[in-house]
Structure 1
Amino acid sequence: MRLTFFILVVFIPSFVISQTTGTFIDNRDSTEYKWVKIGDQIWMAENLAYLPGIGGIPVYINQSFAYMKTYFVYNYQGTSVEEAKSTDYFTKYGALYDWFAAIDGYQASNSDPSGIQGACPDGWHIPSRAEWQKLTDFICNDIGICEIRTGFSNKYYTEIGRYLKSETGWEINNGLNSYGFNALPSGWSANSTKSEGNLGLYWTASEYNRDYATAYWLDSNDQHLRVGNPYLLVRNSNSDVIGKWGGFSIRCVCDDNSLLTNNNQSKSIKDNLKINIYPNPSNDGRIFIEISNFEGTGNFTVFNLHGIEINSWEFYAENGSFKKEINLANFAKGIYYFRFSLGEKSLNKTIILY
């Protein structure tokens, strides 16, 4: 009799929260924004809402027309800034910008940092592709299951979108918002506004070529994060060609970490919260959950790969620690995500049942 052995080798990431969040004020219009530190970068946790005008603003160099900066608000066709700001879409999603308005010019950058303030507040800048790459690299290393694939005119990072997307608002495939980025399905605009609830697109300071700039975007149809030239977006069998004039959202990056020590504009939250799930992988569905450096009431929820909630538990941790055995023997074999909500913190971990 011949015996065949199968060995399952799985990389399980170890998560330690050291998250910093806070708020700051844009002195141009007194708008308050949330920010979040992811890795060693500080990102705005909301879409930029700076709106100096509606429609196109021509820019001249040496008395000759150079380019047009265009500002949009989703589903608003008027010309009044005040009216546009009073809409529910603006309150929810902020403004949309063509690439020239986003970088406030026409000179691209792929440096880290980009060095282009653009439409961002003082002390912040439009991130380059290199800076977005740093964000994706951090999350890929953190979750341990990222895969880079090549698609039509772009490449995409599998599963990252799940961790960046907001928990609500997407037509399907809501996210887990694990890192506090809270990516919204704010749609886009050109001659008309489209895809609210389905797409969230973000300009970079980098060019794809002379006519097209590089953007990152998320889609409700899957949980990927795409990067490249979004010149062709297919939605409901309709194709739309988008160049630098397309209206996308903006997420600014902080110039340096001085924001963390500015007590007048920010508040910091730091912990060394640790969560351990074992055995992982599990072949019988019996696992232990250990939480340290946390005290108080919390809960954890398990989701399948489609983001559907399977079960949820509440607990109370005393003396800075908590331990619980749970039985997942009735779960189908596969990959599951645990989301832990602990005060103002949230964290995801992956569990494999085989």
Structure 2
Amino acid sequence: MKRLVLTIFLTGLLALALTGCDSNLTDRDGNTYRTVKIGSQTWMAENLKVRTEGSWCYEDKESNCQKFGRLYNWDAAKVACPAGWHLPSKEELEVLLKAVGGTLVKSEDEEIVWWSDTGKKLKSTSGWKEKEGENGNGDDAFGFSALAAGGRSYDSGYIQEGVEAHFWSSTGYDDADAYYMGLYNFGDVAGLFGGENGSGFSVRCLQD
């Protein structure tokens, strides 16, 4: 009997390691989340779903919250993560992109910064629309499973589902904007850009 119990226990540990699921990661609404370790960081492997003021479901449909998680304005995103987790800074997103193996590229004025060969590795294997006949899906090489959740513009329109994913950082860009990580159905790049604070973007929390 002891041997059977030990076998069951070890099998459970193996399954947990393979799936990256942490049943202890639960938000205040009772939603649970898979997690994934990439390099030195542990990330949510799903978009945050907790309800807060300043958050929305894509096209105001609850089914999209279940599919994509919620879209948050910047103020809501900064306080939405569960205890022991936080909204990543721009620098912490850069650590992620470096761990994935991307090559840093900057525009001449250094206003636009992106990493080549990273988007495909972070994107999910389905749900991304084709672009000019090219498959927009990723290979999800690290288990980050980024969904093409689109976003909500500051003037309340919903845009780019199936085409783009935007993830807030905690770092301000200027008085009206904050940095976010953008992934797209074209190419294999990931970029860090400034987005209007009132926009609705996805949130991935990082373990403290």
Match of 1:147 in 2: 103
Query: What SS does the aligned partner of 1:213 have?
Result: strand
Q: What is the one-letter code of the residue matched to 1:185?
A: A
Matched, 1:21 2:20: yes
Matched, 1:123 2:84: yes
Stretches of structure 2 lacking an aligned partner (at least 5 in a row) = 1-16, 131-135
**Which residue among 209, 219, 235 is the counterpart of 2:184?**
219
Q: CA deviation at 1:20?
A: 7.6
C-alpha distance in structure 1 between counterparts of 2:200 and 2:66, whole Å: 17
C-alpha distance in structure 1 between counterparts of 2:48 and 2:103, whole Å: 29
**Which residue among 206, 210, 219 is the counterpart of 2:171?**
206
Contact residue 26 and residue 122 of structure 1 kept, 8 A: no
**Which residue among 147, 152, 159 is the counterpart of 1:189?**
152
Q: CA deviation at 1:228?
A: 2.1
Match of 1:253 in 2: 206
Contact residue 153 and residue 229 of structure 1 kept, 8 A: no
Match of 1:170 in 2: 128
**Which residue among 159, 168, 171 is the counterpart of 2:117?**
159
Q: CA deviation at 1:131?
A: 0.7
Matched, 1:97 2:72: yes
* Cα shift readout 1:241-263 (whole Å, capped 9, x = no counterpart): xx1110000000011xxxxxxxx
* Cα shift readout 1:55-87 (whole Å, capped 9, x = no counterpart): xxxxxxxxxxxxxxx2111011xxxxxxx5xx2
Match of 2:6 in 1: none
Residues 161 and 27 of structure 1, relative CA distance in 2, 3 Å threshold? closer
Query: What SS does the aligned partner of 1:229 have?
Result: strand
Matched, 1:138 2:138: no
Q: What is the one-letter code of the residue matched to 1:175?
A: G
* Poorly superposed stretches of 4+, deviation over 4 Å: none
* Larger radius of gyration between Structure 1 and Structure 2: 1
Query: What SS does the aligned partner of 2:92 have?
Result: helix
Q: CA deviation at 1:185?
A: 0.4
* Cα shift readout 1:26-66 (whole Å, capped 9, x = no counterpart): 2511111000011111000000001134xxxxxxxxxxxxx
* Percent of matched pairs sharing the same residue: 32
Query: What SS does the aligned partner of 1:49 have?
Result: coil
C-alpha distance in structure 1 between counterparts of 2:201 and 2:69, whole Å: 10
Query: What SS does the aligned partner of 1:135 have?
Result: helix
C-alpha distance in structure 1 between counterparts of 2:68 and 2:19, whole Å: 23
Could you tell me the TM-score, scaled by structure 1's length? 0.49
Contact residue 19 and residue 38 of structure 1 kept, 8 A: no
* Cα shift readout 1:305-350 (whole Å, capped 9, x = no counterpart): xxxxxxxxxxxxxxxxxxxxxxxxxxxxxxxxxxxxxxxxxxxxxx
Decide which structure has greater strand share. 1
Contact residue 73 and residue 94 of structure 1 kept, 8 A: yes
Contact residue 167 and residue 176 of structure 1 kept, 8 A: yes
Q: What is the one-letter code of the residue matched to 1:187?
A: G
Contact residue 52 and residue 76 of structure 2 kept, 8 A: no
Could you tell me the TM-score, scaled by structure 2's length? 0.82
C-alpha distance in structure 2 between counterparts of 1:27 and 1:200, whole Å: 22
Query: What SS does the aligned partner of 2:59 have?
Result: coil
Provide the aligned C-alpha RMSD in A. 1.7
Contact residue 128 and residue 162 of structure 2 kept, 8 A: yes
Residues 120 and 27 of structure 1, relative CA distance in 2, 3 Å threshold? closer
**Higher relative contact order structure (alpha carbons within 8 Å, sequence separation ≥ 6):** 2
Match of 1:73 in 2: 57
Q: CA deviation at 1:25?
A: 3.7
Contact residue 22 and residue 35 of structure 1 kept, 8 A: yes
Q: What is the one-letter code of the residue matched to 2:58?
A: Y
Residues 50 and 138 of structure 1, relative CA distance in 2, 3 Å threshold? same
Q: CA deviation at 1:224?
A: 0.4
Stretches of structure 1 lacking an aligned partner (at least 5 in a row) = 1-17, 54-69, 77-83, 104-117, 141-145, 231-242, 256-354
